[in-house]
Amino acid sequence: MMNHRKMFFLAMLFCVVVNASAQSIPEWKMIHPGVWKAVIGKADAMTLLSVADARPNLQAMSKLPSKSFPLPKGEISMTVVDHKTYLRFPLEKGEQLYGFGLNFKNVNQRGKIFNLHVDHYDGQDNGRTHAPVPFYVSSNGYGVLIDAARYITVYAGSGVRTDAKNPPELMDRNTNKKWSAHPYSDAVEILVPADGASIYVFEGPTPMQVVQRYNLMNGGGYLPPKWGLGFTQRVPTLYSQSDILKEVQQFKEHAFPLDFIGVEPGWQSMAYPCTFEWDKTRFPAPQAFIDSLSRQGIRANLWLNPYVSPVGTLYPKLKPLSGSHTVWNGIVPDITIPKTQQILKEHFFKLHLQLGVSGYKMDETDGYDSWLWPDVATFPSGFSAEQMRQVYGLKMQQMTAGWFREMNKRTYGLTRASNAGASGMPYVIYNDYYDHKDFITALVNSSFAGVLWTPEVRASKTAEEWVRRIQSVCFSPMAMLNAWADGTKPWSFPEVEKAVQDVAQLRMQLLPYIYNCFAQYHFEGKPPFRAMQLVDGFRFSTKDQYMMGDHILVAPMFAGEKTRTVYFPEGKWYDFYTGDFVGENQSLVITASLEKIPLFVREGGIIPMVPPHFHAPAPGEKLALEIRHYGKMPASAELYDDDGVSFDYEKGMNSKTKLVVSKNEKGELKGNLIRSSTEKVFSYKDEVVWKFMTKQ
Ligand code: GAL
């Protein structure tokens, strides 16, 4: 038995140890304009941002207004106890929270609990998702990022402390109908299972400026090659090279646009696990195959997952550099080790990049607990299974993006896992879940997470669903039909073939505008597809409509629905197709025909368009410009352009043309295109057609 003196001594020792490991007043340093950082305890050597390895765009960040640290410093607490880091940030009444990764069900996250964990999405917003980015944006105009590659638990305004500054009202459930099982909470509380962490706070003052700073700190958004914004078809798993060439022919016969073909697992001599080597029976002549596509203006994107098959040539080289556990009998290369990266690079360059492969679809990096490496796995780098899970998809993106950059070629591909720091990555997230409405909410939420998302279309029960889904995907970062399992073609439902073709062509016509939106993502950090909550002064709550750039509001329709509610921000809004006034700062129930996805343009919206075409313009190809103006007011916009394929734009090989609409003496609107004197690239014909869509 321990005597009292001994117990007292041990208790005192315990207090000293706890206090010695705890810190509570963080020291905040402004590290970039409007971005503040604090390090608590001993942060991990490998973090999300260290893996993403992006260079901040300081020049663009310094153009955003920055005043002071946006939160009451004294109300933030950070403590390290027993190898765990506890963080607390205050919340005000009425404040809403957005973000916490790629969620599919909700946009308003206050009151939710998340365990941020890279995983496939299984139908619940619980933090397990393809991009569980530990970043949130407040409606009050600030943001918080926890830069730790850990399974982070977040109580986003759900726990109530005994010492809460603003405790919930005490209610008697017997008598008070307002009693709630989830009473008000005045803090976000976060548990990072590590000895410390790096925390970033972003100033606004608007939610959009918070997001801009976050994206710019991560290098600015990715500017895809022009062809990446055209239409892409992924073919059935076992298609051979001749099947694919026949499919390309069918696209021509159906007069359907096509910029790149997605080649699914069958290109490899073994898949699940993978050899990353061409299958000799289905793809006897890969170079001839790629060349034949290329002559037709089409590129190839290759599917893979990172698990290395014992029958491939990479296996013996990578075996000593792989984790302790297999996935489907394949080894898991430790891609945090430079030697592993080098071995993969040599193989991929020789067999794919040098042949002209345009990019990859990197599958299965999100994992399912039932087949992925377990949390007890070890890796030769010494990083834990948990850390590897949180960064694997991110590292695959960073590594492969570097290969294409080395060749001065822009790529644009797919990933199923991502995390913080990914804004500048050339990858779009997709998944196996298939709920049209939830896909739109994910698109909305992607703008709070610095990632791109495609609501890919695969199959449909009815022609109505088919056309509605295609309409949505044509208004997303990647217009993709993924036919790997179903073999569907855009024309699979003949009764809506024309409507499907029209919306695909509308996307092609809008390419100058969409490319502009991505240029804005790159140079200013504004997401190309974004939540309405990022529009200044937007006062409604919605999760199924979004903005494409500054000017176009997209309100997708879903099968079975003939009408829908659209929430319009302040300012006047016009119908994209007719130019007619629709509404301002209000919600309206609109009716939409099956053939059209509802699109609205804000007052003064200037939309540069080109004629219908089948492939994104190649470098040097010049298309005619039609510039539309909506509303009754003078306005101006910028038209960004470059060669569309290389990184030469970073060295000034680009142009920013001014599009100005003004009123003449008679009060009529007139358009003027002003080319800059420093312009290096301009892929449009000289004659420009201005279309004033709204009756004056
Ligand atoms: C899935 C992926 C699908 C398809 C398939 C091929 O994991 O999400 O899009 O590529 O693998 O086997």
- pLDDT recorded at residue 11: 46
Separation of alpha carbons 477 and 370, rounded Å? 31
The verdict on the CB of residue 366 being under 6 Å from ligand 1 is: no
Indicate if the pLDDT at residue 136 is higher than 50: yes
| C-alpha 247 – ligand 1 centre gap (Å) | 20
Percent residues over pLDDT 90 in the chain: 95
- pLDDT recorded at residue 566: 98
Indicate if the pLDDT at residue 568 is higher than 60: yes
What structural domains and CATH numbers belong to the chain?
Answer: 21-217 (2.60.40.1760), 231-443+453-514 (3.20.20.80), 522-602 (2.60.40.1180), 606-692 (no CATH)
The verdict on the CB of residue 268 being under 6 Å from ligand 1 is: no
Phi, psi torsion values for 65, nearest 5 degrees: -65, 130
Q: Which residue is listed with tokens 């710019």?
A: 216
DSSP 378: B
| C-alpha 341 – ligand 1 centre gap (Å) | 24
**Which atom of ligand 1 is closest in space to residue 482's alpha carbon?**
9
Separation of alpha carbons 417 and 118, rounded Å? 7
What does the pLDDT look like over 516-528, one tens digit per residue? 999 999 999 999 9
pLDDT band at 571 (very low <50, low <70, confident <90, very high): very high
The verdict on the CB of residue 614 being under 6 Å from ligand 1 is: no
DSSP 319: G
The verdict on the CB of residue 209 being under 6 Å from ligand 1 is: no
Strands 452-453 and 427-429: parallel
**Which atom of ligand 1 is closest in space to residue 456's alpha carbon?**
9
For residue 277, how many C-alpha atoms fall within 13 Å in the half-sphere facing its CB?
13
Indicate if the pLDDT at residue 80 is higher than 60: yes
Instruction: Identify the bridge partners of residue 392 per DSSP, sorted by sequence position.
Output: none
The verdict on the CB of residue 264 being under 6 Å from ligand 1 is: yes
| C-alpha 255 – ligand 1 centre gap (Å) | 27
The verdict on the CB of residue 438 being under 6 Å from ligand 1 is: no
Indicate if the pLDDT at residue 415 is higher than 80: yes
Q: Is 314 exposed, middle or buried (0-12, 13-18, 19+ CB in 10 A)?
A: buried
Q: Find, among 167, 229, 222, 186, the residue nearest to 93 by Cα.
A: 186
Q: Is 188 exposed, middle or buried (0-12, 13-18, 19+ CB in 10 A)?
A: buried
Cβ 688 vs Cβ 660: under 8 Å: no
Indicate if the pLDDT at residue 562 is higher than 60: yes
Of 3-7, 177-181, 199-203, 287-291, the one with minimum mean pLDDT is 3-7
The verdict on the CB of residue 379 being under 6 Å from ligand 1 is: no
Question: At 9, is the secondary structure helix, strand, or coil?
Answer: helix
Strands 359-362 and 413-415: parallel
- pLDDT recorded at residue 211: 98
Indicate if the pLDDT at residue 447 is higher than 60: yes
DSSP 198: E
Separation of alpha carbons 485 and 487, rounded Å? 6
Residues ≥6 apart with Cβ < 8 Å to 431: 120, 121, 130, 366, 416
Ligand 1 pocket test: which of 484, 486, 488 has the largest number of ligand atoms within 8 Å of its C-beta?
Answer: 484
**Which atom of ligand 1 is closest in space to residue 416's alpha carbon?**
8
- pLDDT recorded at residue 18: 41
**Which atom of ligand 1 is closest in space to residue 432's alpha carbon?**
8
- pLDDT recorded at residue 4: 54
pLDDT band at 537 (very low <50, low <70, confident <90, very high): confident
Amino acid, single-letter form, for residue 396: M
Strands 552-554 and 546-548: antiparallel
What does the pLDDT look like over 95-106, one tens digit per residue? 999 999 999 999
- pLDDT recorded at residue 24: 58
**Which atom of ligand 1 is closest in space to residue 271's alpha carbon?**
12
Name the closest-CA residue to atom 11, ligand 1.
363
The verdict on the CB of residue 363 being under 6 Å from ligand 1 is: yes
Indicate if the pLDDT at residue 17 is higher than 70: no
Question: At 398, is the secondary structure helix, strand, or coil?
Answer: helix
Question: At 669, is the secondary structure helix, strand, or coil?
Answer: strand
Indicate if the pLDDT at residue 13 is higher than 90: no
Separation of alpha carbons 643 and 620, rounded Å? 7
| C-alpha 362 – ligand 1 centre gap (Å) | 10
Residues ≥6 apart with Cβ < 8 Å to 253: none
| C-alpha 360 – ligand 1 centre gap (Å) | 13
- pLDDT recorded at residue 16: 39
Q: Find, among 536, 473, 464, the residue nearest to 493 by Cα.
A: 464
Ligand 1 pocket test: which of 304, 307, 432 has the largest number of ligand atoms within 8 Å of its C-beta?
Answer: 432
- pLDDT recorded at residue 26: 78
pLDDT band at 6 (very low <50, low <70, confident <90, very high): low
What does the pLDDT look like over 21-62, one tens digit per residue? 455 567 999 999 999 999 999 999 999 999 999 999 999 999
Cβ 118 vs Cβ 390: under 8 Å: yes
Q: Where are the beta strands (DSSP E) in 555-629?
A: 563-567, 573-575, 581-583, 587-591, 599-602, 606-609, 623-629
The verdict on the CB of residue 482 being under 6 Å from ligand 1 is: yes
What does the pLDDT look like over 348-372, one tens digit per residue? 999 999 999 999 999 999 999 999 9
Q: Whole-model pTM?
A: 0.96
| C-alpha 416 – ligand 1 centre gap (Å) | 10
Mean pLDDT along residues 550-555: 98
Strands 97-99 and 135-138: antiparallel
- pLDDT recorded at residue 3: 52
For residue 508, how many C-alpha atoms fall within 13 Å in the half-sphere facing its CB?
24
Separation of alpha carbons 458 and 455, rounded Å? 10
Mean pLDDT (the chain) is 96
Question: At 543, is the secondary structure helix, strand, or coil?
Answer: coil
The verdict on the CB of residue 364 being under 6 Å from ligand 1 is: yes
The verdict on the CB of residue 265 being under 6 Å from ligand 1 is: yes
Percent residues over pLDDT 70 in the chain: 96
pLDDT band at 12 (very low <50, low <70, confident <90, very high): very low
Question: At 184, is the secondary structure helix, strand, or coil?
Answer: coil
Question: At 501, is the secondary structure helix, strand, or coil?
Answer: helix
Mean pLDDT along residues 241-250: 98
| C-alpha 271 – ligand 1 centre gap (Å) | 11
pLDDT band at 15 (very low <50, low <70, confident <90, very high): very low
| C-alpha 305 – ligand 1 centre gap (Å) | 9
- pLDDT recorded at residue 317: 98
Cβ 140 vs Cβ 92: under 8 Å: yes
**Which atom of ligand 1 is closest in space to residue 272's alpha carbon?**
12
